[in-house]
């Protein structure tokens, strides 16, 4: 595609070395279409599609390839459709567009040889009565794009119109372009380390770098269990931005800490590793299983309770309370591009109401002189800045304690005039970006 990509290049599938390369992976491409459509249909649709028998029955490498293709298509969906619409006199049936999207995700993003992607797309069209009448169209469109090139595309087209309008109004046109570019490619993997671990040595072992705050970033892919120091419990996967709120809380050994919406658990691990006595709450027992597994693997302990935070009947108050509130998660689109398609405008207001209630619950759990950090992985002001403004108005016992980005491993430009942190995915663009987060540190006076 014409626009220059930023960040690390996506992992490339290993092409077959046989003459039948075009035939191999047909089922994987069917699975890729199922994953793509599942992600576009509803929130959680991608996860549901991963458990589809067609997807689940694939060998591991084919399943990984299918997911890589679907994710590439999601990240570049707007650009792919721009290219297709210039070639199509009228929009084809949805199954045909899916075939075309999957093929272009392979050739234009994953750099699959065009002959293999085109041949397989035509074979797939032949297999289904809904797409069979369009097999010549599929062949002509894909070969024409391969012959003439894709033409110019705009990265902002990858964003749903209502999201683009919101971000343009909030952050400005230049920032919107940066945000759009941040979502085009697969991000690197970030690792949080236990205190005392040798970050430089681990970075060398995984061919990565050490970011401010001590996060190790690597472009390495594959099964985590085979990575250096995994079995030793030295690290866990956690985006660099997601590691900031727990650092902002600044717990010390012997202090007590409450992680109110804890799953999947990265922040709980940080608090426990810092020496705090941690209580981790979450409404989902299923999601807490991963937290418990990671606590065991890294050799840390926490009191884990499967219950909604607002229903927890316990008299304790804490030195430090962390509320990573349920949100639209629009800041995570680098890793989860499906969130932008699945999120609807009404969800912003609905979740803002949930956040309002949880903030008041969190306030009751903070000891006098204690700290409260509120954060969301959302780029929507209603879920971030607006929540804290309203909270401080109705809770005069709390005040903002300004953040220092250099102390918590956040981009310097993330600091707001109020002393909060607004991390954008376009920050650290030359290093692969970060997830979008809002975080504010408050103190009960």
Is residue 327 part of the annotated active site? The answer reads: no
Q: How much helix, strand and coil, in percent to the nearest 5, is found in the chain?
A: 50, 15, 40
Secondary structure element (H or E) that encloses residue 278, with its range: strand 277-282
**Cis peptide before 151, with omega less than 30 degrees from 0?**
no
For residue 77, what are the CA distances in angstroms to 132, 158, 297, 335?
Answer: 24, 6, 38, 15
Residues 201-214: b if buried by 16+ CB within 10 A, e if exposed: ebbeebebbebebb
Enter the tokens of residue 144. 């024409």
Q: Catalytic one among 261, 327, 375, 377?
A: 377
Residues 6 or more apart whose Cβ sits within 8 Å of residue 312: 281, 305
Residues 401-414: b if buried by 16+ CB within 10 A, e if exposed: bebebeebbbbeeb
Enter the tokens of residue 340. 């932008």
Which 3 state secondary structure label does DSSP give 227? Answer: coil
Residues 114 and 103: their CA atoms lie apart, in Å, by 8
For residue 10, what are the CA distances in angstroms to 2, 118, 190, 227, 360?
Answer: 17, 21, 15, 19, 42
Enter the tokens of residue 435. 């997830």
Residues 376-393: b if buried by 16+ CB within 10 A, e if exposed: bbbbbbbbbbebbeebbe
Residues 6 or more apart whose Cβ sits within 8 Å of residue 402: 415, 418, 419, 441
Secondary structure element (H or E) that encloses residue 217, with its range: strand 216-218
- Which residues belong to the active site? 377
């Amino acid at each position: 595609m014409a626009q220059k990509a930023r960040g690390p290049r996506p992992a490339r599938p290993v092409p077959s070395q046989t003459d039948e390369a075009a035939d191999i992976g047909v089922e994987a491409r069917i699975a890729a279409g199922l994953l793509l459509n599942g992600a576009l249909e509803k929130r959680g649709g991608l996860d549901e599609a991963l458990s589809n028998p067609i997807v689940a029955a694939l060998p591991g490498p084919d399943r990984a390839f299918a997911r890589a293709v679907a994710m590439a298509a999601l990240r570049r969906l707007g650009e792919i459709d721009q290219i297709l619409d210039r070639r199509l006199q009228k929009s084809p049936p949805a199954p045909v567009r899916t075939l075309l999207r999957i093929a272009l995700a392979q050739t234009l993003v994953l750099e699959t040889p065009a002959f293999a992607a085109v041949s397989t797309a035509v074979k797939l069209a032949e297999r289904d009565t809904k797409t069979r009448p369009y097999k010549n169209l599929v062949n002509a469109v894909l070969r024409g794009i391969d012959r003439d090139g894709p033409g110019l595309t705009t990265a902002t087209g990858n964003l749903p119109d209502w999201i683009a309008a919101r971000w343009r109004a909030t952050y400005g046109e230049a920032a919107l372009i940066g945000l759009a570019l941040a979502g085009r490619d697969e991000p690197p993997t970030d690792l949080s380390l236990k205190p005392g671990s040798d970050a430089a040595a681990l970075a060398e072992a995984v061919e990565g770098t050490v970011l401010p705050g001590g996060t190790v970033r690597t472009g390495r892919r594959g099964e985590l269990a085979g990575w250096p120091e995994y079995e030793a419990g030295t690290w866990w996967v956690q985006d660099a931005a997601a590691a900031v709120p727990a650092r902002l809380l600044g717990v010390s050994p012997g202090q007590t800490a409450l992680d109110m919406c804890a799953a999947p658990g990265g922040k709980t691990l940080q608090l426990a590793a810092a020496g705090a006595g941690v209580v981790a709450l979450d409404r989902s027992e299923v999601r807490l299983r991963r937290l418990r597994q990671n606590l065991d693997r890294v050799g840390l302990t926490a009191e884990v309770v499967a219950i909604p935070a607002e229903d927890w009947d316990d008299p304790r108050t804490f030195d430090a309370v962390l509320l990573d509130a349920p949100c639209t998660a629009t800041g995570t689109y680098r890793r989860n591009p499906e969130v932008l398609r699945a999120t609807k405008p009404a969800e912003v207001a609905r979740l803002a109401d949930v956040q309002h209630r949880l903030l008041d619950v969190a306030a009751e759990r903070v000891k006098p002189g204690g700290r409260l950090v509120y954060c969301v992985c959302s780029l929507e002001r209603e879920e971030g800045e607006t929540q804290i403004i309203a909270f401080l108005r109705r809770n005069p016992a709390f005040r903002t304690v300004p953040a220092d980005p250099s102390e918590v491993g956040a981009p310097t430009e993330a600091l707001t005039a109020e002393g909060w942190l607004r991390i954008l995915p376009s920050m650290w663009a030359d290093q692969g970006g970060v997830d979008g987060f809002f975080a504010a540190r408050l103190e009960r006076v």
